[in-house]
Amino acid sequence: MKHAILTGANGFIGSNTVKYLVRHGIRVTALIHAGHGGNLPDSDLVDTCDFELEDIKAVKEKLIPGDYDIFYHFAWKGSAGDARANTKLQLANAQWTIEALELAHELGCKRFVCAGSIMEHETVAAAYTQGNKPGLGYIYGGGKLIAHVMCMSMAAKLGIELVWPEITNAYGVGEVSPRMVNTTLRKCIKGEAPQFTAGTQNYDFVYIDDVARAFYLIGENGKPFHEYLIGSSTARPLREFLTEMKNAVAPELDFIFGDIPFTGINLPLSSFDCSETEKDTGFRAEISFAEGTKRTIDWLREVEGAK
């Protein structure tokens, strides 16, 4: 890999992937919203190109075809918060992903790597479990699943290599969304006792530095038309992760389990198996959940203190 294009390059996962690629001497063309490149490294290897996801086809007029090896697609609207339940937006995301794939082909990229999610597997299980009433978060999962299926067919037609990494739960320094790790750590900083479900459902978390390295290795070594799980290789019941967090960052606080009902799908531990990722790409996570949450809470304290 000598030259990569990334959508969502200024976002949490995208910007960290850019930094990792640049450290390995890879040129990057970062597709960003105008004026939103503050998370990108200051490097001669990074060029920026303004774009809007809704009009990604217009990027073709700004770039020279034939100069790129790989296209990473990270841009996805409504990946956190209430927008995850916006049906029109999530369906639009799937269409925009197809248009990004078509753009990659038109620019001469050899392969297209999209940021998928383990929620695709949860969504299938939720939809095909008799009598189940899935929560609204599965609308986001449905968008990712639709994008995955359509990209497989379109990539086969176009003759471009599709590689589909699926993230379990990325977290770490730089994330600002109201997802579980951040919400819990903010409560710890305030001295509040976090409340959870019973925590018996299987779960996994992977630190952002490991995620960025995974996307590099999967982009380099992943087999075409394969999916690769990006996880810690230590999946277990959620309560065990949260107890590890408590012991690492807030041993004096009570973590309260069981007060919130669990309405999701409990995937078997086999669904979190990263052995194929390790075998094909050489990726294995290195940062423990205890270490990752320590780094993240230190950063959050610094950020919150600066406000």
Percent of the chain with pLDDT over 70: 99
Give the count of alpha carbons within 13 A of 257, CB side only. Answer: 12
Q: If phi over 0 gives left and psi between -120 and 50 gives alpha, with beta otherwise, what is residue 35?
A: left
Q: What pLDDT score was predicted for residue 97?
A: 98
> In the predicted model, what is the mean pLDDT of the chain?
95
Q: Which two tokens stand for residue 114?
A: 């999209």
Q: Whole-model pTM?
A: 0.95
256: which 2 tokens? 């309260």
3-state secondary structure of 179: coil
Residue 7: inside a domain: yes
Q: What is the pLDDT of residue 264?
A: 84
Would you say residue 65 lies in a domain? yes
- Is residue 263's pLDDT more than 90? no
**Residue 9 domain-assigned?**
yes
Residue 189 has pLDDT above 90, yes or no: yes
What's the confidence (pLDDT) of residue 30? 97
In a domain, 281, yes or no: no
> Does residue 32 form part of some domain?
yes
Residue-wise pLDDT tens digits, 71-129: 999 999 999 889 999 999 999 999 999 999 999 999 999 999 999 999 999 999 999 99
Work out the pLDDT band at 17, boundaries 50, 70, 90.
very high
Q: How much is the CA Rg of the chain, to the nearest whole Å?
A: 19
225-259 pLDDT per residue, tens:
999 999 999 999 999 999 999 999 999 999 999 98
| Residue 176, pLDDT above cutoff 70 | yes
Is the pLDDT score of 19 beyond 60? yes
CA neighbours closer than 13 Å in the CB half-sphere of residue 66? 1
| pLDDT interval class at 178 (50, 70, 90) | confident
Residue 299: phi, psi to the nearest 5?
A: -65, -45
Residue 307 has pLDDT above 80, yes or no: no
Place of tokens 């790129």: 68
**Token representation of residue 123:** 């969504």
β-pairing, 236-237 vs 202-203, is antiparallel
Q: With respect to residue 78, please indicate whether it lies within any of the assigned structural domains.
A: yes
> What's the confidence (pLDDT) of residue 61?
92
pLDDT tens sequence across 196-235: 999 999 999 999 999 999 999 999 999 999 999 999 999 9
Containing structural domain, residue 40: 3-167
In a domain, 48, yes or no: yes
User: What is the rounded average pLDDT of the residues 124-143?
Assistant: 94
CATH code, domain with 81? 3.40.50.720
Q: Which of these, 65, 127, 101, 161, lies nearest to 264 by C-alpha position?
A: 127
- The pLDDT assigned to 94 comes to 98
Query: Interior CA angle at 56 toward 50 and 60, to 5°?
Result: 80
For residue 306, pLDDT over 80 is answered with no
Residue-level pLDDT at 211: 98
Residues 6+ apart with CB under 8 A from 233: 274, 278, 284, 285
Could you give the percent of the chain with pLDDT greater than 90? Answer: 90
Domains in the chain: how many in total? 1
pLDDT band at 174 (very low <50, low <70, confident <90, very high): very high
Residue 266 in any domain: the answer is: no
125-152 average pLDDT score? 95
3-state secondary structure at position 17: helix
